[in-house]
Each structure stands twice: as C-alpha cells, then as structure tokens.
Structure 1
Amino acid sequence: MDTNGAERLPDWVIWQRRPFPDANLLLIDGREAALVDSGFVGHAQQTADWVCAHSDHLARVVNTHWHADHVGGNALLQARGAGIAASAPDADAIARRDPGCCLAEYLDQPVAPYTVDESLDDGQVLRLGDADWEVVHTPGHTPGHLALWQPEERLLLVGDALSDYDVGWVNSALDGPGAAATNVASLQRLADLEPRVLLPAHGPIPADPTAAFASALRRGRRLVDDPDGAVWYGIRRIFAFALMIRGGVLVDEVEPYLHARAWLTDAARLLRLTPEALAAELVETMVRSGAAVLRDNRLQAAAKFTPVLPEALRAPFPRAWPASAGPQRL
C-alpha cells in the first residue's frame, strides 16, 4: 500500500493509492462513513472488501463524476446498503437512464447499473464521517464533475480535475469548444481555496499543493491554446484505458476496434482527418512514445495497471439498465 502523503491526513481519513483502471480509495470514517468514488467494475469486490476492513457501516458513496473508473463499485456497495450521491447533472441523467450515462457506451467502458439516491448542488454541505464537507462544482473534465472541501482541516478532494502535476482531459466533441476554458476556471476556483492537502483520484498525494495547481493551470491553459492538442491528449488517455481493461488488443484487431469507436470518429472530425487515418496515427504515436507496446501479438498499455477479468466487461450499457426511481434533492 502506498501511503506517501497520508501522514498529513487526520486519522478519520483513510487513503490508498491504486493504479488504473481504478481510482484511488478514500474513506471518510465516522458515524456517516463515506467512500469517495468506487473504482472500476472489474474490481468492485476488492473495493467492497477494503471498505469492510476499514469501516463497520458505509453510509454513502460520493462520486466526483461518472466515468467508469469512479463508479464501478457503486452497484455492489449500493446493494449492501450504501446510498449513492452524485452531482445534479449526473444524477438527473442517471435517473432518466439516458443512453449517454457515464459515457459507458461512448467510451466502451462498462459500468454496472446503479441509481443515484442524492443529487448534489454547488455549495451544498454534506456530513461525511463526522465532519462537514462543501460540494464544489468543477465542470471541465466532465460537465458534472465535483470536488469536496473540508475547511477546518483544509482538505480538498479533486477527483480528476488534476493529479500530481497533471490535469484531467477534456472532451470538446461532446462538451463543446469551451470545455478547456471551463476546466481552467474550475482549476482556478480550487486553487483559490489554498488547501493544506490535495487528494486526487489518481496518482500520489502531491507534496506541494500550490506547485501542483500551478503546473495543472499551465497544462490546462495549453489545452485552451491548442485545441488539436487537447483532442490528442484525450484520445490517448481513452485508448490507453481500453488497452488496460482488455489486457491489450490483438494486433490484427486494433484498427477495426478503433474504427468502431464513436470517440475516435468525433476526434477525427475535430482533427480534420478520416477515422482510418487517425486510428493509424494514434497507434503509431502511442507505440513511438512508449505509451503502448507490442507484446505477444497484442498491443498493450505500457503503464502499470491492475488486470481485469474478461467477464467483468459484460456489464450492460445504460440503454439496457432497469428503470430508476430517481434521486432525492437533499
């Protein structure tokens, strides 16, 4: 277990770093014990086991946003009695069973069906553990992305808004050409809180939150200034995740897989390329950069990741999820 930086946390915040395709584990212990994000569906049981080892009763899961690596354990934890809380945009779409929920089908990243019990708005105060946390709406990486702020301890949970000297990707195809600028505004709003401890969903706890924000803001502004670069940044991340959760893709199947992806078609339009040309260039650039490697006749992700069993990828897409009763607005 990686505990780098955890010594700066109060003893009622329990943190564990996890490699992709999961988000880090973060449990806020107390009478209203809460887990922030729940990892990938392929490791839902491991997430649940970790929670049980650290808390007698989980009252709530709070999702920073609805990507597959943050909501994959929701269904299992909800079945065991935890309520699910999410931002109002995500909660409303989940209640409607919008086919675009979680971008699961769009990104080809499976998510087990769940419902949202609490719809969260900007500025709302939540009792998590035994402390009050403020919901901070931080659109950019996704329109419904949120952060959580604990002012007494000056703890800031930022989801994918940034990691240690990095910044979350944006989807200008779905969220519009202003998504990158919106992301920078959210980063600045978080930086203005001047947290003592910054807790990202991926990577280590930054040693210097101020430096992490400064670097993230520089990267975020580059995405604004270079729209094509922002598209490339996003599709490299999406494809690397696909390679991780599938344990790689057979070389002969790589380009047919990419040609069938809506995210690649959208990116090709923005980059003024054909999907076929973009697929070939994406593979070439990722191999050349070392982000992907050819091994055993498969194209595989080079970064460290936790393997996923193939059966975990069989979760239905949201258009096939059972109906939802809808969230409460508390």
Structure 2
Amino acid sequence: MNGSDDERLPAWVTWRRRLFPDANLLLLPGRRPALVDSGFVGHAQETAAWARARAGAIALVVNTHWHSDHVGGNALLQAQGAGVAASAPDAQAVARRDPGCCLAEYLDQPVSPYTVDEPLHDGQVLRLGDTDWQVIRTPGHTPGHLSLWQPEERLLVVGDALSDYDVGWVNLALDGPDAAATALASLRRMADLSPRVLLPSHGPIPADPGTAFATALRRARRLVDDPAGAVWYGARRIFAFALMIREGIPVADVEPYLHARAWLADAARLLGRTSEALAAELVETMLRSGAVVLRDGRLHASAEYTPVAAESLRVPFPRAWPTTAPARAEAPNPQ
C-alpha cells in the first residue's frame, strides 16, 4: 500500500498531499531512499521525522526547483546525512552563494542554508529508491525547474508546472518577457509523454492527466497572451503566501510591508504603476474576491494552510549564508 491510498500508484511509492506553505512529498524507499522536495523550513522537523519513519535514513533529496516550499527541509535532512540534488542552474547559483538563491530575499520567504551535492541535467537517469527516473528539464515557473519521469509506470512528477486546479506563476520581471512562453513549451513537452499519473507539488493527484494538461495549456496560453494578467497572478500568489507563513499581517502594517518588497516594485514597474498604488489595489482586489479576509485586525489568506511558528522564520537570507558546507552525519550507504 502506498502512502496516498491512490490505487494508481505502485506499492513502492509513498505520496503525501500537504497544504501550503508546504509542497507535497514523494518518498521512494529502497536501497537509495529518496525524497522529492522537502517542504517549508517551518515544518522541516516534521518532514524529516515523517520520511525517516517510512524509509529510514534518507540518502537523497531531489528538488523540482528552489522555492521555499520545496527546499525548506534540505538543511536539516542534509545535516542528517542526505545528499541534495537539483537542476544544474540552481546548483551553480547555490554553490556560488548568489544573493538571489531560492528567491528567498526577493520573495521574503526564508530558506535555511544548504548545498547541492548533485547537479542534474536534462535526460539524466537518476536512481531513486529502487527505480530509475529520468530528469526532464521544464523551465518556466523558474528557470531551473525540473520534472521526473518514471517510464515503466508512466509516472510524472510535475513540480509547480501544473496542478489539478492551476499552473505555476511566472516571473516576467526576473526571467524575461518569454517566461510564460517557456512555461507553455514545458507543459507541451510533458503532455507529449502521455503520463498515466501526474504527481503535482500542490493539490490532489489529478483524476485524468489528459484533462489536467488540456486545462493547464489553456491557462498557460492566457499567461502568454496577457502579460499584465501574468504579473497580477504572480503578485496575488506571492502575497497570499506571505500572509500564510506569518499567520496574517496587522492591517496597519500591510501596505508598508508591501512597499518594501522587491517583487512588488518589479510588478508595479511592469504594470506602469507606483508601488503604493499597486499595493493598495492588490489588497482591495484580493479582499473583494475573497482571496484574503480581515479577521481580528489582521489580513489573512483565505485558503486553508498549515500554521508556521514565528521563530522558524528567523533564518539568514542567502547573502549571509556560510560559504562552506554544513557539517552532516555520515551519509547512508545506497548499496
């Protein structure tokens, strides 16, 4: 029995759906126990304990991309002996300790310092658990985004490229005006594999992969055709995440918080507004749509999420990460 109780998954797959601010978990026990993505830093202890209880010592963590909800448990799992694998672009930036790593400071989403032990390249075959998976480069949501393909069972790990209800937001300011078209091309590449099961990073396993791809392709095309809409889409997603990890923000502090954010300044520039005007409009439109709610003097995200302890957010931004790799336990033997 796999951990999701989904009969479409083979017995050697353990899949766990999680609420924001975490990503779903894919655990592959076996001779090389592996975990795909590691959730948010505020829940790292829970992630590591869950994985160890079901697979023993984790040998490898594979990140679909480097956003905070996917790499937050890396540091703890690495300290416990796991290696970390990520796309080559992400690996190179983390190795250099670029200030922009994980977009942690840009998005104001904390990530504990980690290193990448295994850079991954398109088409590379990776042993996870007791099975081989192919690395599929799928940029768009981030330039380093990757997916994982298991051809025998036709399982496709899609990261944030799509879900049962959404597609990943794109950053036109940092990644250029073609980011949405790149995401659309990646979706087409994944659809061409004709997977039997999609494993998204958020939400449930889609009942019908073909329908999920058709919906995602339509939504991605809208992001290409409407760049302003794509900017708004990203801004709403980023702001909702900020509210989730902080258990809301006091009403008086909301607009000053937004005025200080680099992502909002970039969005305002692309939309031809001032940061102040965009912040006010963002709050107003999200309140009107019900995406955020006012409760007890604080603005909250209305979507269901898992609370985060405030002290867990107090980790350094990448510009202050140590340049040497953290000490770790002896890695488990994959043989």
Question: Under a length normalisation based on structure 1, what TM-score does the superposition of the two structures give?
Answer: 0.97
Find the counterpart in structure 2 of residue 139 from structure 1. Answer: 139
- In the other structure, the counterpart of 2:175 is 175
**Displacement after TM superposition at 1:4 (Å):** 6.3
Deviation string 1:47-98 (CA, Å, 9 cap, x unpaired) is 0110011012211000000000000000000000000000000000000000
Distance 1:254 1:115 in 2: 34
State the 1:3 CA deviation: 6.7
Measure the CA separation in 2 of the matches of 1:163 and 1:55.
Answer: 26
Query: What are the ranges of 5 or more consecutive residues in structure 1 without an aligned counterpart?
Result: none
Is 2:158 the counterpart of 1:158? Answer: yes
**Residue 280 of structure 1: aligned partner:** 280
Output aligned runs, 1:85-104, within 5 Å: 85-104=85-104
User: Partner amino acid for 2:144?
Assistant: G
SS of residue matched to 1:6: coil
- Residue identity matched to 1:237: R
CA contact (8 A) 1:5 1:206 kept: no
Aligned equivalent of 1:81: 81
Contact 1:165–1:213, Cα closer than 8 Å, also in 2: no
1:221 aligns to what?
Answer: 221
What is the identity, as a one-letter code, of the residue corresponding to 2:32?
E
The aligned counterpart of 1:210 is 210
- Report what 2:125 is aligned to: 125
The number of residue pairs the alignment matches comes to 325
CA distance in 2, matches of 1:97, 1:111: 13
Q: Which residue does 1:189 correspond to in 2?
A: 189
What SS does structure 1 have at the residue aligned with 2:7? helix
Shift of 1:5: 6.6
In the alignment, which residue of structure 2 is the partner of 1:265?
A: 265
Tell me the equivalent position of 2:242: 242
Distance 2:3 2:291 in 1: 26
**Distance (Å, rounded) in 2 between the aligned partners of 1:4 and 1:83:** 25
- Corresponding position of 1:70: 70
Letter matched to residue 176 of structure 1: G
Alpha-carbon deviation of 1:29?
Answer: 1.4
1:296-328 Cα deviation digits (max 9, x unpaired): 0000000000000000110100000001469xx
Secondary structure in 2 aligned to 1:22? coil
Q: Percent identity at matched positions? A: 77
Contact 1:60 1:84 in 2 (8 A): yes
Q: TM-score, normalised by structure 2?
A: 0.95
Aligned alpha-carbon RMSD (Å): 1.3
Residues 243 and 249, structure 2, Cα contact 8 Å, conserved in 1: yes
Paired amino acid for 1:182: T
Residue type at the aligned position of 1:90: D
Structure 2 CA distance, aligned partners of 1:200 and 1:282? 28
Q: Secondary structure at the match of 1:166?
A: coil
Q: 2:136, 2:3 → 1: CA distance?
A: 26
Residue of structure 2 equivalent to 1:114: 114
CA distance in structure 2 between the aligned counterparts of 1:43 and 1:3, rounded to whole angstroms:
19
Which amino acid is 1:303 matched to?
A
1:167-203 C-alpha deviation (Å, 9 max, x unpaired): 0000000000000000000000000000000000000
Per the TM alignment, residue 242 of structure 1 is displaced from its structure 2 partner at its CA by 0.0
- 2:44 is equivalent to residue 44 of structure 1: yes
Q: What is the identity, as a one-letter code, of the residue corresponding to 2:265?
A: T
Q: Indicate conservation of the 8 Å contact 2:34/2:129, yes or no.
A: yes
Unaligned runs of 5+ in 2: 327-335
1:25 Cα deviation from its structure 2 partner = 1.3
Mapped contact 2:164–2:205 kept (Cα < 8 A): yes
For the 8 Å contact 2:24–2:39, the answer to whether it is kept is yes
- Match of 2:331? none
Kept in 2: contact 1:13–1:27 (CA 8 A): yes
Where 2:122 maps in the other structure, the secondary structure is coil
Report the 3-state secondary structure (helix = DSSP H, G, I; strand = E; otherwise coil) of the residue aligned with 2:158.
strand
Deviation at 1:217, TM superposition (A): 0.4
Contact 1:96 1:324 in 2 (8 A): no
Conservation of the 8 A alpha-carbon contact between 1:133 and 1:151? yes
Distance 1:206 1:33 in 2: 25
Counterpart for residue 199 of structure 1: 199
Distance 2:281 2:94 in 1: 35
For 1:187-236, what per-residue CA distance to the aligned partner results, in whole angstroms no more than 9, with x for missing partners? 00000000000000000000000000000000000000000000000000
In 1, Cα distance between equivalents of 2:239 and 2:219: 20
Kept in 2, the 8 Å contact 1:166–1:212? The answer is: no
Aligned-residue offset at 1:28: 1.1
Preserved contact between residue 154 and residue 197 of structure 1 (Cα < 8 Å): yes
Q: Which residue number corresponds to residue 253 of structure 2?
A: 253
Instruction: Report the secondary structure of 1:237's partner residue.
Output: helix
CA contact (8 A) 1:160 1:201 kept: yes
Task: Using the TM superposition, give the Cα deviation of residue 165 of structure 1 relative to its aligned residue in structure 2, in angstroms.
Answer: 3.3
Tell me if the contact between 2:114 and 2:325 (Cα under 8 Å) persists in the aligned partners: no
